[in-house]
């Protein structure tokens, strides 16, 4: 809104802008004024800083609209209601009364009959006999119209523990200016009733107050600041969710329940709070099953014990449909619905009463908005729905006869025809025609507005004295033969649609005969549906003419030494490089991306042949049912499952719903668990010194969705990925490791992105020896390594040549064999600096052959997930970060133990004083290990034997050589020159595998003179450099 104002885009203040302004005012605080939102907005904001948030709905009231198109399609929509532009006009419309034909105002008839009898008595020309006969008729009419109130006998039994209704002071209806005129001969569409004897009768006084309250809310708004509300049944598009919006904008603390507690559900409610939440309001979402007694008790206990709330409003709107069930078709679903909408509704109220009574909250009763219905069997085929609603009405009698009346007060809301909600959604199309009978249907916003009016403080105070009955049905109860009328409307609508479809087909045939097929096509309505448009474009090459402006750069760069990246491909957490780009750039998949991921995971497959009905079909089909699947529905049908099985996922916190079995742990772990979970975790020591932990109900634990590593974050391949979908044969898949399959697919995609559909095209332009392959090795075939050891141990069948699939260069060789005809060089990079090394090692070869080693290289990096390490997490610093840690396998427990402290005590961390330090570094290539004279002068036979037995003798000789230099420097003796022998300093490994220094001859003498009994040393080397650190102590 700020940018719309300053850039002049805000030219009209409509209802949407007004609603956004009200939401902004409700969130106002002093910090907001530091920003310039426009002077008018600042002034309005400053005015409301000291006032509570207000609920005020400024949206357009809508009306149902059903039309049958010329093609016979029935289309339903919501349009702005004529002559009702604001909610103020809506309230006036409700006060004007219904126009239902046949509706009778009994009170008015009684008054009219009384006036008629008075006129008859005053006529002198009527004889006494005629008057007596007329009087008898009059008394019969009056007797048939009269309703004699029953006198309830006094209750026999124990004294009442609650105050009677007469002890409450009746509220004085003040502060509300009467603005709505109620017709004397019509009952308003929204009206209130009060209990007279055993019947509910229309109250014009209460109705006037109620309508005036609605008018005040529509014009000035109302607040729910510091009010606590519990709502059930607040699904998307329901009346309950609109009530939540009103309560949040009014500053209330709201607790809502949901039966599907998922990320999608919570994000929906979070969006509601972000849009309608006001200063001080809160929204708490709780998972809840209203058909469960345990959940009922847990919910109320959570509100009072954990949230510390005392409920002011209870709005139990939860329910499930029971359509299509007559009395001979009642099943377990009907019983479940009855339990939810009646039995457990009473349990919720009872649990709240218990909490209020235990805390002695007698001065703060909670108002229950009881959902009633005019459907007392009117529609039929709805199971036990009518029974549930009728039975709820007994609460009004029990309020006076039982002891919970001082803790809860009742306002019954007979909810009329509400369009667009789950229960009434399928009947929306007949609402338009139904209103022509004088019945008023409501949108979910309008019905929520009506109910929020019942929660106004004035009506709240009235319900503390006596329950009220709110008829919010729009005159539906006064329409005779309601079920027949709705049936006739539906039949008439379907008949009209069928007729127009037939006429349209007939006219189409005539038009086609008279004007031809092409003319008919011009008049047809073409519905454009989204379809996939897969494009695998080759790289665009610039023409020589377009590069003519860059001719002045010629000669500045040696093009023979430039690496050109022409394409790339990958197999990763988001599938391919194309789908990963969609997710990282847009945050969602396109239709093409969804189709590719659904195909990759295995939800769909391509089909070319005859379908089940015998028709020819080419396209996508569902992998399970083989039913055709159109492009436009793939995203909606499969995207949720695709996201669940792809991408980078995280740990999820799960709350335990029952106690777990005890587990054996160490002493330190027991203390950590107890510190983290408190009373939700019991720890104790066993008789044998072992410790146990038991996680109790309510404890929160993290369930990993992907492995976590301390050094690398890795992504998993989407579930269901199979190389066969890319055309790789089954025998290759069975023989090779998954790593090789990923490399093959990535290489194929990289070649295709480079414009190369057949690798043999390369040999038209370069020699086979000039096409090379460079693939990252990772840990080679980890799956086959696991099979080679574990499967053989478990006596499972293992392929005979599995050993070769574990070599570090096997993956590269498969790519070279299957794609490049076993031609060209193969290089295995083991570090990111591979290409620098590659350049150095091949410089001489390139100079000798007068050409580059490879004109074209395929480079591939492999990153794989490995199993978790063999040590516990708290030993990471001692083991993973300590090069001196040694592992020993315990055959009894099957675990590895790390005796790090013993190594430290014996070698590295003894308490000694340091006398000298020496450090030396050399290039490995500069140590002449191939010279026998050099070796004989500087290395003992044991050292020579050890170094030659290592995988890299040059590196081993170089490490020992720099070690000797470092020891010499640490002793601090005078050098005899560069050619002095170093044989007196011997470096060998001890029993633990660590390097130790042994001094002989003159070196030992010099060390003794300086008081050096021991020299500690550390050796290391890379591919090119060796380094040593020595400490004389």
Q: What is the residue-wise DSSP string for 969-986?
A: HHHTPPP--TT---TTEE
Domain match, 726 and 860 both: yes
CATH code at position 929: 3.90.470.20
Would you tell me how many other CB atoms lie within 10 Å of the CB of residue 236? 11
Domain match, 806 and 890 both: no
Determine phi and psi for 865, rounding to 5 degrees: -80, 130
Which of 145, 172, 194 represents a domain boundary (last residue)? 145
Domain match, 682 and 733 both: no
What is the structure's pLDDT at 272?
93
Domain match, 877 and 831 both: no
Domain match, 732 and 840 both: yes
| Residue at 769 is within a domain | yes
Report the chain (1033 residues): mean pLDDT per 10 consecutive residues: 65 78 75 57 73 89 90 88 89 79 58 72 73 72 54 40 39 51 76 86 90 93 94 90 95 93 87 92 93 93 94 91 78 87 92 93 92 75 81 89 91 88 71 89 93 94 92 83 85 92 82 69 66 79 80 76 81 86 85 91 90 86 90 88 75 75 83 83 85 87 49 60 87 83 87 86 84 69 66 64 70 83 72 52 46 48 45 52 56 54 41 68 86 87 88 88 88 67 86 83 84 86 86 83
How far is residue 117 from each of residues 62, 148, 185, 781, 885, measured CA to CA in Å? Answer: 47, 21, 20, 106, 113
Domain match, 750 and 825 both: yes
What is the structure's pLDDT at 192?
93
Question: Contact, 337 vs 383, CB < 8 A?
Answer: yes
User: CA-to-CA distance for 157 and 155, rounded, in angstroms?
Assistant: 7
Domain match, 806 and 697 both: no
Indicate the burial class of 598 (C-beta count within 10 angstroms; 0-12, 13-18, 19 or more): buried
User: CA-to-CA distance for 727 and 745, rounded, in angstroms?
Assistant: 10
- Non-local (6+) Cβ contacts of 344 within 8 A are 290, 291, 292, 293, 296
Which of 811, 838, 868 represents a domain boundary (last residue)? 868
Q: Per residue in 711-742, is it b (16+ CB within 10 Å) or e — as a string? A: eeeebbbbebbebeeeebeeeeeebbbbbbbb
How far is residue 72 from each of residues 54, 110, 804, measured CA to CA in Å? Answer: 46, 50, 69
- The length of the chain in residues reads 1033
What is the structure's pLDDT at 19?
82
| Residue at 858 is within a domain | yes
| Residue at 1009 is within a domain | yes
206: three-class secondary structure by DSSP: helix
Determine phi and psi for 593, rounding to 5 degrees: -65, -40
User: CA-to-CA distance for 488 and 480, rounded, in angstroms?
Assistant: 13
| Residue at 115 is within a domain | yes
User: CA-to-CA distance for 988 and 956, rounded, in angstroms?
Assistant: 11
How far is residue 815 from each of residues 573, 717, 779, measured CA to CA in Å? Answer: 22, 20, 17
What is the structure's pLDDT at 314?
96
What is the structure's pLDDT at 883?
53
| Residue at 922 is within a domain | yes
Write out the residue range of the structural domain in which residue 690 sits. Answer: 652-703
49: three-class secondary structure by DSSP: coil
User: CA-to-CA distance for 696 and 677, rounded, in angstroms?
Assistant: 9
Task: Estimate to the nearest angstrom the gap between the alpha carbon of 665 and the chain centroid.
Answer: 35
Domain match, 921 and 1026 both: yes
User: CA-to-CA distance for 242 and 274, rounded, in angstroms?
Assistant: 14
What is the structure's pLDDT at 303?
95
What is the structure's pLDDT at 105?
56
| Residue 173 backbone class (left: φ over 0; alpha: ψ -120 to 50; beta: rest) | beta
How far is residue 977 from each of residues 160, 973, 974, 982, measured CA to CA in Å? Answer: 113, 12, 9, 11
Q: Are strands 681-685 and 887-890 parallel, antiparallel or unpaired?
A: unpaired
| Residue at 306 is within a domain | no
Determine phi and psi for 838, rounding to 5 degrees: -60, -40
Q: Are strands 468-472 and 408-415 parallel, antiparallel or unpaired?
A: parallel
Rg, the chain, Cα only: 43
Question: Contact, 251 vs 226, CB < 8 A?
Answer: yes
CATH code at position 663: 3.30.70.2490
Question: Contact, 574 vs 596, CB < 8 A?
Answer: no
Would you tell me how many other CB atoms lie within 10 Å of the CB of residue 424? 17
Domain match, 777 and 676 both: no
Tokens at residue 1014, please? 């021991």
User: CA-to-CA distance for 35 and 23, rounded, in angstroms?
Assistant: 17
Q: Tally the domains of the chain.
A: 7
The long-range contacts involving 372-381, CB below 8 angstroms and separated by at least 24 positions, are 372/412, 372/413, 372/414, 372/415, 373/414, 373/415, 374/414, 374/416, 374/473, 374/476, 374/477, 378/482, 378/483, 379/483, 379/486, 380/326, 380/483, 381/323, 381/324, 381/325, 381/326
922: three-class secondary structure by DSSP: strand
Question: Contact, 388 vs 342, CB < 8 A?
Answer: yes
Question: Contact, 504 vs 75, CB < 8 A?
Answer: no
Tell which residue, 268, 217, 261, has the closest CA to residue 241: 268
User: CA-to-CA distance for 226 and 184, rounded, in angstroms?
Assistant: 39
Domain match, 923 and 1016 both: yes
| Residue at 204 is within a domain | no
Q: Are strands 468-472 and 191-196 parallel, antiparallel or unpaired?
A: antiparallel
Domain match, 675 and 805 both: no
| Residue at 191 is within a domain | no
Tell which residue, 493, 495, 500, has the closest CA to residue 429: 493
How far is residue 773 from each of residues 109, 710, 732, 744, 820, measured CA to CA in Å? Answer: 100, 31, 20, 12, 9
Domain match, 928 and 883 both: no
The long-range contacts involving 169-175, CB below 8 angstroms and separated by at least 24 positions, are 169/465, 170/465, 171/458, 171/461, 171/462, 171/465, 173/209, 173/458, 175/458
If you ran DSSP here, which 8-state letter would residue 762 be given? Answer: G
Question: Contact, 195 vs 223, CB < 8 A?
Answer: no
């Amino acid at each position: 809104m700020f940018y719309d104002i300053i850039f002049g885009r805000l030219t009209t203040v409509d209802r949407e802008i007004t609603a956004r302004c009200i939401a902004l005012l409700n969130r106002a605080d002093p910090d907001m004024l530091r920003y310039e939102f426009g002077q008018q907005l600042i002034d309005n904001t400053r005015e409301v800083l000291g006032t509570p948030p207000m609920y005020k709905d400024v949206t357009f009231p809508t009306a149902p609209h059903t039309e049958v198109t010329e093609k016979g399609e029935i289309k339903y929509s919501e349009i702005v209601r004529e002559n009702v532009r604001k909610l103020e006009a809506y309230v006036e419309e409700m006060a004007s009364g219904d126009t239902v034909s046949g509706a009778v105002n009994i009170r008015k008839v009684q008054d009219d009959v009384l006036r008629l009898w008075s006129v008859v008595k005053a006529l002198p020309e009527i004889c006494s006999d005629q008057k007596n006969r007329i009087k008898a008729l009059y008394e019969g009419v009056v007797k048939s119209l009269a309703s004699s109130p029953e006198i309830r006998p006094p209750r026999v039994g124990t004294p009442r523990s609650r105050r009677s209704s007469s002890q409450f002071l009746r509220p004085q209806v003040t502060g509300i200016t009467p603005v709505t005129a109620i017709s004397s001969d019509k009952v308003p569409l929204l009206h209130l009733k009060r209990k007279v004897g055993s019947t509910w009768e229309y109250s014009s006084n209460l109705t006037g107050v109620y309508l005036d309250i609605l008018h005040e809310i529509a014009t000035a708004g109302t607040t729910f600041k510091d009010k606590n509300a519990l709502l059930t049944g607040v699904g998307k598009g329901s009346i309950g969710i609109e009530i939540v919006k009103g309560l949040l904008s009014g500053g209330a603390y709201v607790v809502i329940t949901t039966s599907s507690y998922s990320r999608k559900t919570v994000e929906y409610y979070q969006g509601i709070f972000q849009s309608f939440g006001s200063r001080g309001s809160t929204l708490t979402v709780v998972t809840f099953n209203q058909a469960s007694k345990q959940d009922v008790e847990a919910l109320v206990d959570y509100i009072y014990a954990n949230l510390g709330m005392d409920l002011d409003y209870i709005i139990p709107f939860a329910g499930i449909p029971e359509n299509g069930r007559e009395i001979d078709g009642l099943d377990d679903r009907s019983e479940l619905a009855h339990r939810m909408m009646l039995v457990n509704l009473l349990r919720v109220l009872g649990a709240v009463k218990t909490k209020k009574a235990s805390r002695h909250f007698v001065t703060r009763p909670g108002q229950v908005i009881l959902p009633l219905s005019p459907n007392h069997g009117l529609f039929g085929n709805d199971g036990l729905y009518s029974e549930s609603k009728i039975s709820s009405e007994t609460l009004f009698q029990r309020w006076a006869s039982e002891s919970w009346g001082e803790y809860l007060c009742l306002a019954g809301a007979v909810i009329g025809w509400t369009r667009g909600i789950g229960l009434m959604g399928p009947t929306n199309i007949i609402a338009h025609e139904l209103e022509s009978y004088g019945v008023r249907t409501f949108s979910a916003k309008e019905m929520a507005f009506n109910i929020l009016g019942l929660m106004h403080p004035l009506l709240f105070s009235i319900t503390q004295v006596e329950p009220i009955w709110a008829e919010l049905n729009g005159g539906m109860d006064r329409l005779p033969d309601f079920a027949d009328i709705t049936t006739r409307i539906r039949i008439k609508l379907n008949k009209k649609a069928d007729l127009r479809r037939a006429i349209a087909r007939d006219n189409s045939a005539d038009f086609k005969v008279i004007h031809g097929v092409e003319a008919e096509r011009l008049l047809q309505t073409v519905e454009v549906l989204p379809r996939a448009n897969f494009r695998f474009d080759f790289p665009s090459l610039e023409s020589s003419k377009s590069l003519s402006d860059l001719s002045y750069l010629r000669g500045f760069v040696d093009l023979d030494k430039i690496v050109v990246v022409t394409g790339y491909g990958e197999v990763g957490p988001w599938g391919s490089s194309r789908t990963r780009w969609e997710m990282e750039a847009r945050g969602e998949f396109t239709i093409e991306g969804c189709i590719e991921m659904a195909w990759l995971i295995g939800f769909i497959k391509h089909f070319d042949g005859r379908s089940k009905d015998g028709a020819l079909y080419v396209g996508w089909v569902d992998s399970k049912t083989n039913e055709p699947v159109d492009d436009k529905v793939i995203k909606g049908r499969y995207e949720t499952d695709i996201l669940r099985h792809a991408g980078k996922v995280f740990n999820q916190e799960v709350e335990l719903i029952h106690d777990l079995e005890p587990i054996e742990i160490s002493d330190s772990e027991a203390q950590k668990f107890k510190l983290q979970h408190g009373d939700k975790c019991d720890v104790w020591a066993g008789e044998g010194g072992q410790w146990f932990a038991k996680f109790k109900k309510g404890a929160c634990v993290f369930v990993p969705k992907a492995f976590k590593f301390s050094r690398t974050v890795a992504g998993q391949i989407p579930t269901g990925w199979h190389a066969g979908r890319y055309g790789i044969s089954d025998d290759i898949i069975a023989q090779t490791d998954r790593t090789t399959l990923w490399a093959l697919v990535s290489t194929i995609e990289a070649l295709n992105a480079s414009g190369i559909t057949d690798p043999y095209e390369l040999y038209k332009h370069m020699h086979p020896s000039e096409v090379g392959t460079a693939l990252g090795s990772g840990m080679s075939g980890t799956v086959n390594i696991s099979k080679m050891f574990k499967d053989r141990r478990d006596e499972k069948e293992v392929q005979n040549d599995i050993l070769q699939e574990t070599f570090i260069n096997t993956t590269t060789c498969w790519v070279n064999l299957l794609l490049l005809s076993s031609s060209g060089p193969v290089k295995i990079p083991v570090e990111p600096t591979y290409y620098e090394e590659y350049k150095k090692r091949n410089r001489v070869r390139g100079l000798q052959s007068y050409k580059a080693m490879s004109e074209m290289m395929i480079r591939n990096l492999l990153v794989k997930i490995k199993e978790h390490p063999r040590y516990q997490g708290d030993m990471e610093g001692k083991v993973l970060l300590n090069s001196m840690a040694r592992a020993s396998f315990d055959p009894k427990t099957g675990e590895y133990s790390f005796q790090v402290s013993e190594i430290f005590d014996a070698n590295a961390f003894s308490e000694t004083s340091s006398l000298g330090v020496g450090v030396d570094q050399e290039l490995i290539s500069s140590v002449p290990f191939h010279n026998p004279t050099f070796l004989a002068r500087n290395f003992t036979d044991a050292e020579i034997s050890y170094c030659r037995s290592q995988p890299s003798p040059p590196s081993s000789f170089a490490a020992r050589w720099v070690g000797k230099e470092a020891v010499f420097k640490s002793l601090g003796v005078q050098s005899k020159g560069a050619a002095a022998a170093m044989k007196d300093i011997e470096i060998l490994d001890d029993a633990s595998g660590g390097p130790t220094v042994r001094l002989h001859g003159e070196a030992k003498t010099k060390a003794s003179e300086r008081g050096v009994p021991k020299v500690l040393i550390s050796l290391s080397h890379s591919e090119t450099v060796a380094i040593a650190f020595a400490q004389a102590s």
